[in-house]
Amino acid sequence: MLTDPLFEPAAEHFLGLQDRIVAALESLDGQATFRRDEWTRDESEADGGPALHGWGRTCVLEGGAVLEKAGVAFSKVHGRFAEGHAASMPGDGLDFQATGVSLVLHPRNPHVPIVHLNYRRLGRGETAWFGGGADLTPCYLNPEDVRHFHDTHRQVCEQHPRVADWPTLHRQCDEYFYLPHRGERRGVGGLFFDHMSANPQEMFAFVKAVGDAFLPAWLPIAQRHRDDLYGDRERQWQLVRRGRYVEFNLVHDRGTVFGLRTGGRIESILMSMPPLAAWGYDLHPEPGSPEAAMQQALVRPA
């Protein structure tokens, strides 16, 4: 095992954060509960792939009143990178360890935004770092919701100025969650950072605080819109927007790529996929419609 004094404390915090989020989401939904799926891995390079050892807990809710599908995952693993993957990571050697918590929530009502969170601690050789973030992906643009989500996270950044500059992390979020083949952002952003190795104790305090900010940032939005009226038009647009989510996660998302390249558990890696999605050929929203307003807000300015 690699030596990183923050690895075990980070894993303990991420596991507790998963517990708190799962409990809050079950209370919000009121109908469905999470399936709690604990797993272990003990595979050597001789088994035909990269070495991977560790365990995790994947919590998945399906068919709820508010959440059509929700996944909240914790993992704590160590192993050896494949040669090609190691070159893309900071540090030296092939040995790595990783722990983190991640979630993706796909609400039933199209007026409740999709939301994503991921916070992680990784180490390779003598180098260790934090990464992650949270971002909002609405199907319909609601400026009040966007302000609330952003302001909640901005306030945490302002409490940790040595390690978290809100304008920088907010810009990095827009740059990361971007579909270049579409020329548009995946959603309306939030914050994103990676490879943060300086000031590790202060960075850990920030990661704990910003993780704890997720429920206050998203729950009020979900509660506000859970009973909004919608019909077939809104549902079809929601499926199209979910399709964009799938495109990003399968092509560009670092967590998905990391899991696949390190031989991670496929059910946990792909828990972020929505239960239903749609792709329309050469689809363009009607000019002046709420769908067109959402589409325009996601186009990156030239």
Strand, helix or coil at 227? Answer: coil
Residue at 20 is within a domain: yes
User: Which residues, listed in sequence order, are joined to residue 67 by a DSSP beta bridge?
Assistant: 107
Tokens of 59: 């919590």
pLDDT digits (tens, 9 = 90+) for 122-151: 998 888 999 999 999 999 999 999 999 999
Whether 116 is catalytic: yes
What is the domain-level CATH number for residue 136?
Answer: 3.40.1500.10
The catalytic residue among 78, 106, 111, 116 is 116
Tokens of 86: 């190691």
List of long-range contacts for 157-162, beta carbons under 8 Å, 24+ apart: 157/191, 157/206, 157/210, 159/209, 160/202, 160/205, 160/206, 160/209, 162/199, 162/202
Residue at 2 is within a domain: no
Q: What is the residue range of 174's domain?
A: 7-298
pLDDT bin (cut points 50, 70, 90) of residue 302 is: very low
Q: Please state the pTM of the whole predicted model.
A: 0.92
Residue at 56 is within a domain: yes
Residue at 13 is within a domain: yes
Residue at 217 is within a domain: yes
Residue at 1 is within a domain: no
Flag the least confident range among 74-83, 106-115, 222-231.
74-83
pLDDT digits (tens, 9 = 90+) for 21-41: 999 999 999 999 999 999 998
Residue at 243 is within a domain: yes
Q: What is the pLDDT of residue 265?
A: 77
Q: What is the pLDDT of residue 88?
A: 65
Residue at 69 is within a domain: yes
Q: Total domain count for the chain? A: 1
